[in-house]
Chain A
């Protein structure tokens, strides 16, 4: 302080800390780069997986997760460093927005900051770096959009694009050996949605047992429930009534109601009335003449028996999502009141066959030949629940990417092609820019090139040589070349059929640049005193 002998009075609360300038910057760089380094080994087709072990009493050995998915890894980490938190946040957003590229986005932001740190050490002002990055980002984005191609949604080419994208996405996952099989499966599932992007309608059922190869996309729709005992196990040409209504006893909804009786006779009367009420409801349901009755809530044995007696197959306790899917698949309306039997043609769903099937140990209900057929089911098999969980995450990623592609339709070549092209665009731009920003633009290009470099490194190939050769190929005008990770060479992506969704790349680029900029702008970190946890 400028006054000698005067100690600065304590301004912040006890335990609160403030770091300024270099210290603050150093802290955020270290944090962000550490996070990026942590996930970067999972990048690319030869990336490795991580084991996540939960903390907390009694959980040490249970519920471990083995995964390759960036968002899953980052989400389950507890970090203290605020900059690291920002990286985790963008990864999460990437997951929500496009579903894939969650590792890429964190790694790219980390690499940008690593380059940024070098520039800061050269005494370039952070704002200058940001100014350069902004130019670079715009140039890169423009190049990315320019190199992307679009096919008509109905065409065979688009269908092939989807298959290729699915294969590319799967190639970095556990099920890479069966990627052709799963790519086909996922594309079919997504096309079943007919342009809708509601992923809830694709149900994934995981049942341990068998091998991954035994997984399949069911041509019908599977509900993970059982048909109630005493009902028919197989119904042809089923008319389905989907309901969300209380079928235990109808509790009185009017507030403050109490039943008070003064004799045993009255109790019997009330009981009879209650039964009567239930029967009345069942009668109303029967007016719709369904052959199958699916309810979200429990069905007590009395109404169940009544329904079964009328030859109606009953499925109870279908969860909310399951019910929505049944409704979507069979074209039924979800009912809660039963006073309009004249509309039954609109209300009832239809499917050709309902039967109880066994997958592994579990009994399920399969609806095939559905009227609307917009929902579908993927059954995953595998030797352990950990594998199944990871396959589930991979399939989820693929489905997200495919849906995004269906919406956006633009595709780019994979194998690091888009990153290298963007980097090349930045390098060209850097030659034309005056001032220190040019250094930042070059840094941006270097950060982009780090992505293919890391992919090579993870595969155990000579990254420096490969990336340089790659650069030369692009310079020669072979614009569809990319890394061939099967044999560690540079190859034509057109022949290899490696494609990626442009939207995923775009979102990763935008989010990573924004996050890097955000962290770069910080020159002061104020940490409040951590809240004291009251011990119960």
Chain B
């Protein structure tokens, strides 16, 4: 803590409770911030690429999760340092916007900060550095647009989409079955995609997990799977040509919201009330039955008597269906969500080919499958696996793959992976650096170095010699004027990423570079950190 003293040696108090606050200024603050952010990037860097490793995270309650997904790792790490938290947000915004490349973005930011540190040591002002990064970033983005290629997603049975999904899944624990899972993800997205509007509503893809079996048993159900069973054990377990009545009101006597009291003062009223009560259930079930429905799905509970009446009327029913499921079913079957029994009409019923109960394992767990829905616009991916950790990780991985496919449907331009796009940008930025006549030149050059850090890191994780392999790729890119040369991570014998079919979306790459640059600029602008001492 640097303090100013007056003539008598007393310190000037400027901040409240100054003595108990910790303050870092100037270069010290820059370096501390950068080091903290770099620590996070270092942790993540070993997860990058097809041979990246996983992280095991133990939560405060002792729950274990194992993951390779950057956003999940940083989210569960309980990071406390304020600047390191910026990187957490960085990863999360990449996740929210693109859904994939969450590790890459943090690693890139880390590399940029590393470069900034050396520049600071050279005595270059942080703002100059951030200016230089900014200009370099523009150049890189422009170059990405140039080297991007449009692909035909329809061609060859959507082969390109499957390959892109495989690229996203390649680094995960499920990579053994990446082709199968990639296909599942592609089919799922295409089933719900609106190709004319180039839009995909991801809410229509439900991902349900269930332990047991192995990852290979993961399948796509062209319908909806809900983790519920029929409300009465003796109801029919299968309904074909289902006409679904989707209710959000309980099969119970009404509970008006206004406070009220019914006072019964004589036996006559008592009897009347009893009859009325019985009538409620009969009426409810009748209303549902009369509409022509042959199955009722309800968001709320059933009274025992109502439950039995449903059985008696051969009306299978499901209770406590979750709100999201209700919406999903409504979208898929074309059912209207009915909030009051009086409003049931035949037009509001949804239609599905079949609804049946399926059973898993020995523990008597059952789920309901709704198939052949009228508007087949919802699908479920049922993930299986040997343990909870595996299915959780598989779920995250498939989510990433789905996001990649969605992005490709929105914008079918791709760049090639394996670090080739970064290398190409680095070369372009380097060329540009020579044109800059001011101090920023150094920063621009450093930006190029940072971009090279990604292929470097990839090569390192794959057990290749990072310096030689990057140098080789770089010289080949220059000599052959081929921006598709990258790191041969899988040792397939070719460095041309087009041949290896490693596709990444342009939008994801662009977003990565832009977001990373932004965060680095922000960190570089902080020159004073004031925090409570015990922080």
Interface of B is mostly: mixed
| CB-CB contacts below 8 Å: A320-359 with B | 324, 327, 333-337, 339-340, 343
Whether A254 and B273, one on each chain, are in contact in the complex, defined by CB atoms closer than 8 angstroms, is: yes
Expressed in whole angstroms, the minimum distance between the Cβ of A393 and any Cβ of chain B is 13
Expressed in whole angstroms, the minimum distance between the Cβ of A145 and any Cβ of chain B is 13
Expressed in whole angstroms, the minimum distance between the Cβ of B433 and any Cβ of chain A is 24
Measured CB to CB, the nearest residue on chain A to B388 is: A89
Count of A-B contacts judged by CB separation below 8 Å? 267
Whether A273 and B312, one on each chain, are in contact in the complex, defined by CB atoms closer than 8 angstroms, is: no
Q: Report chain A residues within 8 Å CB of B58.
A: 82, 525-528
Whether B261 and A134, one on each chain, are in contact in the complex, defined by CB atoms closer than 8 angstroms, is: no
Q: Report chain A residues within 8 Å CB of B274.
A: 250, 252, 277
Q: CA–CA, A89 to B277, complex, Å?
A: 48
The contact sample of 27 A-B pairs, CB cut-off 8 A, is A9-B39, A12-B79, A20-B43, A83-B56, A89-B64, A93-B211, A98-B362, A199-B362, A245-B304, A250-B274, A253-B252, A254-B262, A258-B262, A258-B264, A259-B265, A270-B267, A273-B270, A274-B270, A277-B274, A335-B308, A336-B304, A336-B308, A517-B173, A519-B66, A524-B43, A528-B60, A531-B60
Whether A327 and B233, one on each chain, are in contact in the complex, defined by CB atoms closer than 8 angstroms, is: yes
- Point out which of B43, B56, B173, B360 has the most chain A C-beta atoms below 10 A from its C-beta: B56
Measured CB to CB, the nearest residue on chain A to B309 is: A337
Contact-residue size bin, chain B (C-beta under 8 Å from the other chain): 35 or more
Expressed in whole angstroms, the minimum distance between the Cβ of A344 and any Cβ of chain B is 12
Whether B362 and A197, one on each chain, are in contact in the complex, defined by CB atoms closer than 8 angstroms, is: yes
Whether A510 and B386, one on each chain, are in contact in the complex, defined by CB atoms closer than 8 angstroms, is: yes
Choose the segment among A113-121, A260-268, A439-447 that binds chain B (4+ C-beta atoms closer than 8 Å): A260-268
B311 within 8 A of partner (CB): yes
Whether B387 and A515, one on each chain, are in contact in the complex, defined by CB atoms closer than 8 angstroms, is: yes
Q: CA–CA, A380 to B79, complex, Å?
A: 55
Expressed in whole angstroms, the minimum distance between the Cβ of A7 and any Cβ of chain B is 9
Q: Report chain B residues within 8 Å CB of A92.
A: 387
B266 within 8 A of partner (CB): yes
Expressed in whole angstroms, the minimum distance between the Cβ of B389 and any Cβ of chain A is 6
What mask results when residues 57 to 92 of chain B are scored 1 for a CB within 8 Å of chain A, else 0?
111111010101000010011111100100000000
B residues with CB within 8 A of A: 31-32, 35-36, 39-40, 43, 46, 51, 53-62, 64, 66, 68, 73, 76-81, 84, 117, 173, 176, 211-216, 232-234, 252-256, 259-267, 270-271, 273-274, 276-278, 281-282, 303-305, 307-309, 311-312, 359-365, 385-390, 393, 462-463
Q: CA–CA, A11 to B34, complex, Å?
A: 11
Beyond A6-B31, A521-B54, whether A93 also contacts B308 by CB under 8 A is no
Expressed in whole angstroms, the minimum distance between the Cβ of B276 and any Cβ of chain A is 7
Q: Report chain A residues within 8 Å CB of B264.
A: 257-260, 270
Q: Report chain B residues within 8 Å CB of A127.
A: 51, 53, 462-463
| CB-CB contacts below 8 Å: A141-179 with B | none
Q: Report chain A residues within 8 Å CB of B173.
A: 517-518, 521
Measured CB to CB, the nearest residue on chain B to A297 is: B304
A59 within 8 A of partner (CB): no
Beyond A252-B274, A515-B386, whether A258 also contacts B263 by CB under 8 A is yes
Q: Report chain A residues within 8 Å CB of B54.
A: 518, 521-524
Q: Report chain A residues within 8 Å CB of B36.
A: 8-9, 11
| CB-CB contacts below 8 Å: A381-414 with B | 400, 403-404
Q: Report chain B residues within 8 Å CB of A305.
A: none
Whether A11 and B80, one on each chain, are in contact in the complex, defined by CB atoms closer than 8 angstroms, is: yes
| CB-CB contacts below 8 Å: A429-476 with B | none
Whether A256 and B262, one on each chain, are in contact in the complex, defined by CB atoms closer than 8 angstroms, is: yes
Whether A403 and B362, one on each chain, are in contact in the complex, defined by CB atoms closer than 8 angstroms, is: yes
A24 within 8 A of partner (CB): yes
Whether A334 and B276, one on each chain, are in contact in the complex, defined by CB atoms closer than 8 angstroms, is: no
Q: CA–CA, A247 to B212, complex, Å?
A: 42
A276 within 8 A of partner (CB): yes
Q: CA–CA, A530 to B278, complex, Å?
A: 53
Question: Of A20, A125, A518, A528, which is within 8 A of B389 by CB?
Answer: A518
Expressed in whole angstroms, the minimum distance between the Cβ of B257 and any Cβ of chain A is 10
Q: Report chain A residues within 8 Å CB of B261.
A: 256-258
